Chain A
């Protein structure tokens, strides 16, 4: 498996502001994803981060609210824009397509966001 790190690990933000979350992988991967885990709930896919092109968003998520970048095969960012308390969640990066042939999805440790 890969080592996946996320920054920050947690943050407390005021409503109306934006936060950018970074995801770094220690090896090249084919695909990167961003998930949201709301308090006490399961994981929901926000979008697939595509290298060099616009991310592919799931129903209910839009680029203006969750802009995503993926400049290379090991790094991606997710921005949560114009935050409200409803955005308080854990945001997780996941990857698949590691060198060596494994095709399973592996997850980063998550970023715990609290919006006040």
Chain B
């Protein structure tokens, strides 16, 4: 079945540091890939997405590129802020928009001033 694997956290960084969160997936066909973010005490928010190979999703300074050859969708940000402290979830969806999302385990990121 489908699965998503993320690097385990917590990841602790200083402000302005470079952030990478690794995400790899297993799925048949060509799934759509997503990053969601969950800030403390809040629900999940869609951060970015990519729907086909070599697509790059970007939002709020975060980027991730859909790499079919390595089945990966790593999340990066060049200079993190304290406000980026959150849990980040990688997810995939096969097929149409109404199909379910399969989530990775989540990675907690803590940015210190």
Residues in A lying within 8 Å of B, measured CB to CB: 4, 30-31, 33, 41-45, 48, 58, 92, 94, 96-97, 103-110
Contact = CB atoms under 8 A, between A and B. Distances in A.
A107 B97 contact: no
Interface residues of B, number: 18
Contact of B43 (A41, A96, A108): A108
A33 B44 CA distance: 14
B105 A42 contact: yes
B31 interface: no
Interface of B: 34, 36, 42-46, 49, 89, 93, 97-98, 100-101, 103-106
B43 A92 contact: yes
B47 to A, nearest CB: 11
A109 B42 CA distance: 6
B43 A42 contact: no
A105 B46 contact: yes
B57 to A, nearest CB: 11
Contacts of A104: 34, 46, 49, 97
Which of A44, A105, A110 has the largest count of B CB atoms less than 10 A from its CB?
Answer: A105
